[in-house]
Chains A and B, each alone.
Chain A
Amino acid sequence: MAFRQRTSTRTARTGRPEGAPQSRVLACRALRSLAVGLALALAAQPSHAAEAGESKASAASEPVPPPEPDRRLALGAAFVPGVAVHGSGHYVLGQRRTASWLFLTEAVGAGLVVGGVTTLFASGNSRNLAAFGEGAIVLGAALVVGSFGADVYGVAATDQPAVQARSRATPWYESELGYRYVADPHFAYAHFLVERVTLRGGHLRFEPSAWFDAGQHNVRYRLEGAYRFIGPLPHETAKYEEHLELVLGAMHQRYLPEQFRRSGGEVALAARFDFGRFGDTLRGSFMELGAGYAVAQIRYDLDGIRVPSLRDDVLLATVGLGVTLRGEARPGSEVRVYYDHRHDDYAGGFLLPGRISGVFGKFGADFRWFFGGHAGVRVQVEGSSAVVAGASLLFRDTLPSAMVSPP
């Protein structure tokens, strides 16, 4: 009923005079959304109790999507003026609270970008402030891009209730076996066998993984442990697709022809935020954010030459935007595009012909499709100083108590 009620309310509120030019109406809406967006956002504090009630109502009934002409208008508004004023699509759609949150997200993101750039410029990329400035820029850009993407998604998608009805159980076990091709002109390696196992017990996650080059030029072992502060545990299901984890990692990588080893550790906070918290139209879309620090030691094994080891610090900052897949895809299926600022992976920093080459990290896309309760496939592509692409088979198991769909 929630969708039906909101739609009719919007139609009544819109009250467009008959015969008024559509562009003029759009422009008016854009101006109004600009003027009141921030105020609305500040005023529209989400009420969890109200949200829960709305969600129950949504899940229990078959929502009626807005008429197609309005949806097309909203989709257009999501781009113009939505590319500048995020949430415009939802504003036109009548989802004003969601629109306000998206606009607020954009504003916070833009503020972080401006703050980060100002910090870097004013400090001359100072050794003491550069990491904070870069982190703010990455996070801010993610919020700006994320709020735009969420606005487009929310007005374009019509099957959000299908997401709501799905189980969001966290598997206690997941394994991955796959192949990755790495195209890097600087290294002889190319074909990797990739293995990973993820085990969850209570709040803890334990995740060993390894990459083996078929030509025995390179091997990397990684061990990751995490504590989940927020988010569903293996025996639980959840209303939202989100979590907050403290991640500790250790890594050892051998470059055999190049005669060095890289070993290190890292600590990071990793979070997933469900955009559904901003409104039901955004159900099935999410944003990921991560920030941390890694340190590594590089040891050389040069023939007969003693070379002191190197210490290398890395800023960790990751952002991702994703969509939960539905239809034929089983729960857990999703597609995600992401940016990872780290420069020490197989895909390092982003190379460009111009003067800012190497500044950005890697961009990637991750596609996970479960075709059964236990089995699925993963396709992953990353690009930067190297292109990494490949596919894996996934196997998972979920505790029976967590298989029930959320109310």
Chain B
Amino acid sequence: MRARAWFGLTLGLLAAACLRAAEDRTRHDLDVGHAHSAALSVDVGGGLAAVRALTDQRVRLWLSAPSIEVTLTTQRALDLTFAVENAMPALVLTRLDTAVSVPPVSGEDATKKEWALALPVGSTRVRLAAPEAATNGPFRFALLSDVQEAIDRVQDIFTLVNAEPGLSFLLGAGDLTDEGEHDELERFQTELASLHVPYYTTLGNHELGSEAVPAYQDWFGRCNFQFVHRGVYFTFLDTASATIDEAAYAWLDTWLARGQGSVHVALMHIPPFDPVGTRNAAFASRGEAATLVGKLARAGVDLALYGHIHSYYSFENGGIPSFISGGGGAHPERADDIGRHFMVFEIDPDRGVVSSRVVRVDRRDEDD
């Protein structure tokens, strides 16, 4: 009897585990960017925007990429206010049915735009892109992760990001918030209003609340996605549960194949391997971690960016230059002599990663 009790206890414990911890989020990724009102439906290509508000008169999107295509389908002619947030400052809306660019009616904020669209019955496709997005050429971007409870001080960092010349956008590797609650996510988006460039991010483990589908996806959109900017591929992966879901691996295979032969940046929150392996701030399974690194290496990924560890590490994963940058201000790793920081990268679709640089926030010297 005792033996059975011990085994029962163990089996109960095992039942609490789940082999696909990120399954619900991955499934919900497919719903992101698709919504409908009484007379209007919105479909964002690749799910690269979250539909933040939708009525028959107005749609508001939070963009996850520099360029997106949106299909608007209506059963009756509508006059629609089409608003986007987290946009490239030079974003242009082009109606693909007429190939005509529509001037914005409002664009007072660098990353917020608004257009008035007269929609006929049926489907109307529009493209939102900055003029330079489709042309190959070098550009710069920054990386900032793990802000969490340091949200009150994040404007210090945004001020320095805004001071960086020529940045196209800021990337995030998760842990924007401490608990992932709606009010925290709203606060983060409010703080982002002062940023002069858009912020494209995936989620971290601190965005995982008690719900299987986190509030994050309502506010920031997909957890797994890919976009292309100026010939460079950016792939964002959801590793917030220390694993990648099987469905996301299937997408990854497609995205890696697309980016083969091009400069490719992979970005995720929890790194496959912690440079300090005994600490294990990494994937739950070292076997899965090695498999992922093998996939990225085989596809010729040029740069891997991670968060989660509240410090700065530069290393190689399977020959891929890799950086952990968790300098947003969340409870920092002590005695690492780094403190709050963000990183700036220069990238060239023909030459790869040209340079990387750490910008310290509290100590204003910089490391190449």
- A: residues with CB less than 8 A from B are 121-128, 130-131, 134, 157, 183-187, 255, 258-260, 262, 293, 295-296, 298, 300, 302, 305-308, 310-315, 323, 325, 335-337, 343-344, 346, 348-359, 363-365, 367, 381, 383-387
Give the CA-CA distance A234 to B59 in the complex, in Å.
78
Q: What B residues does A302 contact at CB under 8 A?
A: 294, 297-298
Taking a contact as CB atoms under 8 Å apart, the answer to whether A259 and B284 are in contact is no
A363 & B14 in contact (Cβ 8 Å cutoff) = yes
Q: Say yes or no: A131 contacts B278, CB within 8 Å.
A: yes
Residues in A neighbouring B2, C-beta threshold 8 A: 157, 323, 335
- The chain B residue sitting closest to A356, CB to CB, is B205
Shortest Cβ distance from residue B238 to the other chain A in the assembled complex, whole angstroms: 12
Contacts of B210 in A (CB 8 A): 354
- With contacts A125-B279, A126-B336, A312-B277 taken as known, whether A357 is within 8 angstroms of B14 at the C-beta atoms is no
- Report whether B297 and A348 are in contact in the complex, using a CB–CB cutoff of 8 Å: no
Q: Is there a chain A Cβ closer than 8 Å to B305's Cβ?
A: no
Within the complex, the shortest CB–CB distance from B139 to chain A, in Å, comes to 28
Shortest CB distance B343–A (Å): 19
Stretch of B65-73, B123-131, B314-322 contacting A (4+ beta carbons < 8 Å): B314-322
Q: List 13 A-B contacts (CB under 8 A).
A: A123-B335, A125-B310, A184-B285, A186-B243, A186-B285, A293-B278, A312-B273, A312-B286, A335-B3, A337-B6, A344-B287, A350-B17, A351-B19
Question: Nearest residue in A to B283 (C-beta to C-beta)?
Answer: A358
Given A125-B310, A184-B287, A385-B243; 11 other pairs, CB 8 A cutoff: A122-B334, A127-B311, A134-B279, A186-B246, A255-B287, A255-B291, A298-B290, A310-B318, A351-B242, A353-B18, A365-B7
B316 in contact with A351 (CB, 8 Å): no
CA distance A109 to B242 in the complex (A): 28
Is the beta-carbon distance between B17 and A127 smaller than 8 angstroms? no
Cβ-neighbour of B284 out of A308, A315, A348 (below 8 A): A348
User: Contact residue range for chain B?
Assistant: 35 or more
Instruction: Decide if A387 touches B14 in the complex (CB within 8 Å).
Output: yes
Contacts of A352 in B (CB 8 A): 16-18, 21, 241
What separation, in Å, do the CA atoms of A302 and B334 have in the docked complex? 38
Contact across chains for B9 and A337 when beta carbons are under 8 A apart: yes
Bound Cα distance A252, B317 (Å): 20
- Rounded to whole Å, the gap between the CB of A349 and the closest CB of chain B is 3
- Give B225 Cβ to nearest chain A Cβ, in Å: 21
Instruction: Indicate if the CB atoms of B205 and A130 lie closer than 8 Å.
Output: no
Kindly name the residue among A126, A157, A293 whose own CB sees the greatest number of chain B CB atoms within 10 A. Answer: A126
Given contacts A298-B290, A308-B318, contact A385 B298 (CB under 8 A): no
- Looking at chain B's contact residues, is the secondary structure mostly helix, strand, loop, or mixed? loop
Quote the shortest CB–CB distance from B286 to chain A (angstroms). 4
Q: Are A127 and B279 in contact (CB under 8 A)?
A: yes
A344-B6 contact given A351-B18, A351-B21, A385-B19, CB 8 Å threshold: no
Q: Which residues of B contact A134 (CB under 8 A)?
A: 278-280
Q: Give complex CA distance A127, B10 in Å.
A: 33
For the complex, is B34 an interface residue (Cβ under 8 Å from A)?
no
Return the contact of B333 from the options A124, A305, A351, A365 (Cβ within 8 A): A124
B13 within 8 A of A: yes
Interface centre among A183, A323, A349 (most CB of B within 10 A): A349
A-B contact count (CB 8 A): 220
Q: A383 and B276 in contact (CB under 8 A), knowing A300-B297, A357-B243?
A: no
| Chain B residues with CB below 8 A from A314, complex form | 277-278, 280, 286
Q: How far is the CB of A310 from chain B (nearest CB, A)?
A: 6
Bound form: Cα–Cα A255–B288 in Å: 11
Whether A307 contacts B297 in the complex (CB less than 8 A), given A357-B243, A385-B243, comes out as yes
Contact residues in B for A359 (Cβ distance below 8 Å): 242, 280
Query: Of all chain A residues, which has the CB nearest B288?
Result: A186
Q: A185-B246, A383-B13 are in contact. Are A307 and B276 (CB under 8 A)?
A: no
Q: Is the CB of A349 within 8 A of B285?
A: yes
Do A353 and B212 form a contact, CB below 8 Å, given A122-B334, A185-B246, A363-B14?
yes
| Complex-state Cα separation, A351 to B270, whole angstroms | 13
Shortest Cβ-Cβ A-B pairs, 4 listed: A358-B242, A348-B285, A313-B277, A349-B284
Residues of B within 8 A of A386 (CB): 19, 285
Asked if B304 lies at the interface with its beta carbon under 8 angstroms from chain A, I say: no
> What residue in chain B is nearest A323 (Cβ atoms)?
B2
**Could you tell me if B276 and A313 are in contact, using CB atoms closer than 8 angstroms?**
yes
Q: Which of A186, A258, A305, A384 sits near B17, CB closer than 8 Å? A: A384
CA distance A258 to B281 in the complex (A): 23
B316 to chain A: closest residue by CB: A308
Contact status of A343 and B298, CB under 8 A, knowing A307-B319, A364-B10: no
Question: How long is the Cα–Cα vector from A405 to B311 in the complex, in angstroms?
Answer: 58
Q: Is B20 an interface residue when CB atoms closer than 8 A count as contact?
A: yes
In the complex the two chains form, is A357's CB within 8 Å of B6's CB? no
List residues of chain A with CB within 8 A of the CB of B335.
Answer: 123, 126, 128
Q: How far is the CB of A61 from chain B (nearest CB, A)?
A: 24
Give the docked Cα–Cα distance between A257 and B214 (Å): 34
CB of B285 within 8 A of CB of A365, answer: no
Task: Please report the C-alpha to C-alpha distance between residue A241 and residue B331 in the assembled complex, in whole angstroms.
Answer: 45
Complexed CA–CA distance, A234 and B10 (Å): 32
**Interchain CB contact under 8 A, A351 and B3:** no
Interface digits, B127-144 against A, CB 8 Å rule (1 contact, 0 not)? 000000000000000000
Q: With A134-B279, A258-B291, A325-B3 as known contacts, state yes or no: A355 contacts B19, CB within 8 Å.
A: no
Type the 1/0 row for B181-211, where 1 means its CB is closer than 8 Å to any CB of A.
Answer: 0000000000000000000000001101010
Q: Which residues of A contact B291 (CB under 8 A)?
A: 186-187, 255, 258, 260
Bound: A346/B285 CA distance, A: 8
Q: Given that A335-B6, A349-B242 are contacting pairs, would A315 and B18 also be in contact in the complex, using a CB cutoff of 8 Å? A: no
B91 partner residues in chain A, CB cutoff 8 A: none
- Distance, CA A387 to CA B270, complexed state (A): 22
A186:B287 contact, CB within 8 angstroms: yes
Q: Which residues of B contact A358 (CB under 8 A)?
A: 241-243, 270, 280, 282-284
Q: What is the bound-complex CA distance between A187 and B292, given in angstroms?
A: 12
Asked, given contacts A123-B333, A353-B208, A363-B10, whether A343 binds B284 with beta carbons under 8 Å apart, the answer is yes
B309 within 8 A of A: yes
Tell me the minimal C-beta distance from B146 to chain A in angstroms. Answer: 11
Query: Once the chains bind, are B284 and A357 in contact (CB under 8 Å)?
Result: yes
Chain B residue numbers with a CB within 8 Å of A258 are 290-291, 294
Q: Which residue of B lies closest to A369 (CB)?
A: B3
A255→B318 CA distance, assembly (Å): 16
